[in-house]
């Protein structure tokens, strides 16, 4: 490997005294740019026609990794776990989440919205909606005012035999309880 040299990158001309570039072979190089508040390590093809660029910025807020490529694939035989404050995926054309097993989305609140077109739910079995109240094309009803009292039907205070007209029938039902 040859000794590090100063980069000829146009955007690095201000820091050209600090930027070091080391060839990796086949036209690839690694560039290290130290700075007063951060250091940047970049792997790229100097022609600018590279299919991949990996940049690691070591700053006061912690390390940041940025990758630019024609496509990125991650493969593992084990799990992939991401823990972060906010996770955002933005695709210009579409997003597909596919699982050979169960799929689950969970959050304090979950919103599903289609800005144009339908929202479709399809199942090969039952579709179950469980919630305190399932609202279909309506808002939650206003609570009853306290002055209206309870809308629960009053418990009858008349004996059953007085309503049925038959004392024997009332006793028969009383025995079955």
pLDDT computed for residue 137 by the predictor: 87
What is each CA distance from 175 to 72, 161, 166, 169, in whole angstroms?
76, 14, 15, 10
Domain extent listing, the chain: 1-70
Residue 42 pLDDT level (bands cut at 50, 70, 90): confident
Q: What mean pLDDT value characterizes the chain?
A: 80
User: Is the per-residue pLDDT at 128 higher than 70?
Assistant: yes
Straight-line distance from the first to the last Cα atom of the chain, in angstroms, rounded to the nearest whole number: 94
Q: What is the pLDDT of residues 136-153, one digit of tens each?
A: 888 888 887 777 776 666
Cα distances from 68 to residues 28, 31, 53, 154, in angstroms, run: 15, 16, 5, 71
Tell me the average pLDDT across 54-60: 84
Q: What are phi and psi of 164, to 5 degrees?
A: -75, -30
Calculate the CA 68 to chain-centre distance: 22
The residue with greater pLDDT, 11 or 146, is: 146
Considering only residues 57 and 52, tell me which one the structure prediction assigns the higher pLDDT. Answer: 57
User: What's this model's pTM, rounded to 2 decimal places?
Assistant: 0.52
Token pair recorded at residue 72: 């990125």
């Amino acid at each position: 490997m040859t000794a590090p040299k100063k980069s000829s990158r146009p955007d690095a001309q201000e820091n050209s005294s600090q930027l070091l570039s080391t060839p990796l072979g086949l036209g690839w190089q690694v560039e290290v740019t130290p700075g007063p508040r951060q250091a940047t390590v970049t792997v790229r093809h100097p022609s600018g026609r590279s299919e991949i660029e990996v940049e690691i910025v070591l700053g006061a807020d912690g390390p940041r990794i940025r990758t630019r490529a024609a496509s990125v694939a991650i493969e593992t035989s084990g799990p992939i776990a991401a823990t972060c404050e906010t996770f955002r995926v933005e695709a210009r054309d579409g997003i597909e989440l596919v699982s050979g097993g169960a799929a689950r989305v969970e959050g304090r609140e979950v919103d599903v919205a289609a800005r144009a077109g339908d929202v479709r739910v399809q199942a090969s079995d039952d579709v179950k909606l469980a919630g305190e109240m399932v609202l279909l094309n309506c808002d939650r009803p206003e609570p009853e005012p306290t002055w209206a009292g309870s809308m629960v039907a009053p418990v009858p205070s008349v004996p059953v035999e007085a309503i049925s007209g038959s004392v024997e029938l009332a006793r028969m039902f009383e025995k079955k309880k």
